[in-house]
Structure 1
């Protein structure tokens, strides 16, 4: 249970309130700079925990349970703060909503399919891994935009990547839904 990958995953959950606190004041550029550094650290631990678990052969049920939860609460928390402070604004909010809808859909599908008599897994696809990477870059750039308000290209890059993530989110969400629908009563 207390393997390094699980500790890294738990650290993401424990440090999320600090990340949100740093994003609380949009005028505080230093807070956004610290939030960006923390966000990068948390994103790296997301990658490293999976690599370590697979490389050392210590993947666990706890890790499989906690990792997607840590990812989803981090993404949801950051998206909410960025929308609240108008770093994601106007039509761009649709991209954030698509990302949140997909995260809820996939979580619900996994819960439903895991409870079937013949438990069905929804393995993470390569495209879903790309979605995660683009999403992490988008959110990181949008956080960095708060630290660098005089560099509008950072915000533009973040919003463009957010739409890329929303597109990949929609595609992977649909793929997972198609798999899930095969196992539902009609």
Structure 2
């Protein structure tokens, strides 16, 4: 392997993937959410950069072609596990996450079965959109944790009556409760909505990949 910049970015993304849940082991929330979100966003940007630089500088390599999709899947799947972990058993997040995980396992199995023939199955523009949407969705869902815990930090020591008075405008909102509650609500809806869109695109692109792989999976007929 040549240590070109695209390959270095790919390796960095591989190493960053398991660091996302580690943030929640060593840091209190919402700082853990902040660090995990920043780490995920930076890794997602390198996903675009390493491919772009490899093509622009003619540094494409077999190592990069093999490791880049692995790094992408590792980052997305681990991040989904973390999001589902702190969201609890929430069907609206769990179901699209399960679809995404199922598709990635299914396609990985097909690639392994096809071997060298898998190179004939090119990544479609819709699959690229799917990747972009799911990465944006996950980043927004990480921000949901930030807004949620920032809200709870600010209501610490306040009774229910005081909280209600602030949220309904009867008392000055010096702690920014309305902002954090609104941001928490909107980021939840937008993040979950985008995750469902990613889930639908996942099913469509997974079926398209399977359809294109079928000719390579047919058994040769015998005239015995």
TM over 0.5: yes
Q: Which residue of 1 aligns with 2:52?
A: 51
Contact between 1:24 and 1:81, CA under 8 Å: does it hold in 2?
no
Alignment counterpart, residue 211 of structure 2, candidates 172, 178, 186:
178
Contact between 1:110 and 1:122, CA under 8 Å: does it hold in 2?
no
Contact between 1:12 and 1:42, CA under 8 Å: does it hold in 2?
yes
Contact between 2:144 and 2:188, CA under 8 Å: does it hold in 1?
yes
1:115 CA displacement = 4.6
Contact between 2:92 and 2:192, CA under 8 Å: does it hold in 1?
no
Q: Which residue of 2 aligns with 1:85?
A: 86
1:63-102 alignment, distance < 5 Å? 63-86=64-87, 89-102=90-103
TM-score, normalising length from structure 2?
0.77
Contact between 1:113 and 1:121, CA under 8 Å: does it hold in 2?
no
Q: Which residue of 2 aligns with 1:122?
A: 121
State the SS of the aligned residue for 1:183: helix
Q: Which residue of 2 aligns with 1:147?
A: 146
Report the aligned-residue RMSD.
1.8
Contact between 1:138 and 1:158, CA under 8 Å: does it hold in 2?
yes
Q: Which residue of 1 aligns with 2:20?
A: 19
Q: From the superposition, tell whether residues 138 and 87 of structure 1 become closer, same or farther in structure 2 (CA, over 3 Å).
A: farther
1:129-140 alignment, distance < 5 Å? 129-140=128-139
Quick one: distance in 2 between partners of 1:59 and 1:154?
Answer: 37
Unmatched 5+ stretches in structure 2: 149-180, 220-224
1:103-118 alignment, distance < 5 Å? 103-115=104-116
1:128 CA displacement = 0.4
Unmatched 5+ stretches in structure 1: none
Quick one: distance in 2 between partners of 1:62 and 1:112?
Answer: 19
Quick one: distance in 1 between partners of 2:48 and 2:119?
Answer: 25
Contact between 2:97 and 2:195, CA under 8 Å: does it hold in 1?
yes
Quick one: distance in 2 between partners of 1:88 and 1:122?
Answer: 36
Contact between 2:40 and 2:75, CA under 8 Å: does it hold in 1?
no
Q: Which residue of 1 aligns with 2:193?
A: 160
Aligned residues: 184
1:164 CA displacement = 0.4
Structure with max Cα Rg: 2
State the SS of the aligned residue for 1:164: helix
TM-score, normalising length from structure 1?
0.92
